[in-house]
Structure 1
Amino acid sequence: MTSLLFYSIMSSKPLRVGVIGPAGFGGSYLTVELLNRGHTVIGISRNPEKVGKHPRYIPRPVDVDQVSIEELSEVFDGLDVLVSEFGPHTAGPGALLYMPLLESVRKILLAYKLRPASYFIFVGGAGSLHVPGTNISCVDHPDFFLAYRRAISTSLAHIAYMEERLGIMGTSLRRYREARLAESSGITTEEDRTVIADYEKQIRAKDNASDFIKAGRTTYMFFEDRKNFDWSFVSPSALYRPGKRTGKYEISVDEMVLLGEQQEGKDVFEGRLTGISVSDMAIAIANEIEQKKLVWKHWSAWGDISEDMPAPAYVFLDAVEGGSR
């Protein structure tokens, strides 16, 4: 199911929105989006002041992993909406992420139940979306990781973003891109062929991001079929990255939208993955905060990512009138 939505600013009364992870990738863009719409944002993380200062931005420092459920619930006091952009993947490449993420999400949910707001929006990952026409999660499909890595290697914006956040993982992706470009141009060297073979062998054996993506898929089980509180589970489309703010996006529920038809001899994902800029994803989430059209839904948003230029992985409150670093 897809529908086209357009950006509209401030269509509801001002809200007090808690954002877990306000200084991270998606969280920083969402924080700026909400402030630009006139809402108050309560930033919840270890260092929420990193995003800057603003009269309607209230930092509440807390380490989700270290505090008790009761202590965390106090941080959620007085909110109209809570959005979790929590992501322990910032621990860096090679970190063990599957169980830590599940334990953290469990704690956040239990704390939320002690002091519930009117709406809880959880931002997960594309891996929990279903392969179209099946009940198989994308992350469980044997072809997903290779197609995903090949797709992001074509994007300078995505590579620059990974280099900024994850260092060596981004650097190796850039070298893989260069080798594949040489291959497609017919000027490949033995070194290029080795780079491609080694990189893809590693992906097939175990993608470095697989634990986090699989954990994101499993967190959806905390929400699925529950109707004792209002929630929405957001899975940005696979090629989620910095990019142009268009103000337009499309919505799908449960399924990952793939472009075109599967080509003979190629896997279901090859050349068909969709994406969205972090700016447009922030618009989609902010619209849902205000309009509550996707309660109890597992949904995704995708849009135009044709302009592929490196852009900031984070934004700060000096992007908002009245804000400052």
Structure 2
Amino acid sequence: MNIAIIGASGFIGSALLAEALARGHRVTGLVRNPERLAAHPQLTARRCDVYDAKDLAAQLRGYDAVLVSLRGQGANDVGEHYMQGFRAILQAARDANVKRLLVVGGGGSLEVAPGLELLDAPNFPEEYRGPAEGPREALKLLRTETVLDWTMLCPGAVIEPGERTGKFRLGTDQLLVDEAGESRISVQDFALAMIDELERPAHSRKRFTVGY
């Protein structure tokens, strides 16, 4: 496939890029600093500004799918800065007639009990609240979307460097935990699950999650 990845140089975006290239996809990495992307025969690196919907729309035309790995940049209100960028991306995707939009979500919006999301649990770390708010609001916005064919994949409570095992579970709206009560996924296995969804769509206009 011919795909674009917004945020291809970030922690999760770079794993998506590596997985997509390893499977033979042609990728355009849309990033703030194209020089950060290592040269690859199947990769085109381009500078983009996710807050400029008009310019971004021109960059998103013609791909089989667009993957979004966005990180809020605001020092004072990370969640709102995230949403400013995300709203611009949605508008650009609509204007560009993007066929499929695959979005990296966050574990904070997953349920740990009926009606209780992880982000609202009493023991949720305060230092992660700001970064977790953005993806949760993005999911709410996607669920009102009537034009785009979107999918959001949320990791477990912890996503970290590790191994590409291919041994994980998929879920829907509930946080997945292992036998030890931990909720985690390696960034490599997260990327594997996302590119699986790219190649074999199974969650059109839905959110799903991956964990051990």
1:218 aligns with 2:121: no
Hey, what does 1:285 align to over in structure 2?
A: 194
1:298 aligns with 2:210: no
TM-score when scaled to structure 1? Answer: 0.62
Provide structure 2 residue ranges, at least 5 long, that are not aligned to the other structure: none
Hey, what does 1:310 align to over in structure 2?
A: none
1:142 aligns with 2:122: yes
8 Å CA contact 1:21, 1:48 repeated in 2: no
Q: Give the SS at the match of 1:116.
A: coil
Hey, what does 2:148 align to over in structure 1?
A: 229
Hey, what does 2:102 align to over in structure 1?
A: 121
Hey, what does 2:83 align to over in structure 1?
A: 102
TM-score when scaled to structure 2? Answer: 0.93
Counterpart-to-counterpart distance in 2, 1:284 and 1:49: 27
Q: Give the structure with the higher percent strand.
A: 2
1:241 aligns with 2:150: no
> How many Å apart are 1:245 and its aligned residue?
1.6
Structure label with greater radius of gyration: 1
> How many Å apart are 1:227 and its aligned residue?
4.5
> How many Å apart are 1:225 and its aligned residue?
5.0
Query: How big is each residue's C-alpha offset from its partner over 1:83-116, in whole Å with a ceiling of 9 and x where there is no partner?
Result: 1001125x7xx65302111111001000100012
Q: How many residues align?
A: 212
> How many Å apart are 1:75 and its aligned residue?
1.1
Counterpart-to-counterpart distance in 2, 1:212 and 1:229: 25
Amino acid at match of 1:101: Y
Q: Give the SS at the match of 2:50.
A: coil
Match of 1:40 among 17, 26, 45: 26
| Identity score, percent | 29
Match of 1:87 among 68, 71, 96: 71
Counterpart-to-counterpart distance in 2, 1:123 and 1:116: 20
> How many Å apart are 1:63 and its aligned residue?
2.1
Q: Give the SS at the match of 2:97.
A: coil
8 Å CA contact 2:98, 2:148 repeated in 1: no
Counterpart-to-counterpart distance in 1, 2:95 and 2:35: 26
8 Å CA contact 2:158, 2:183 repeated in 1: yes
Q: What is the RMSD computed on CA atoms of the aligned residues?
A: 1.7
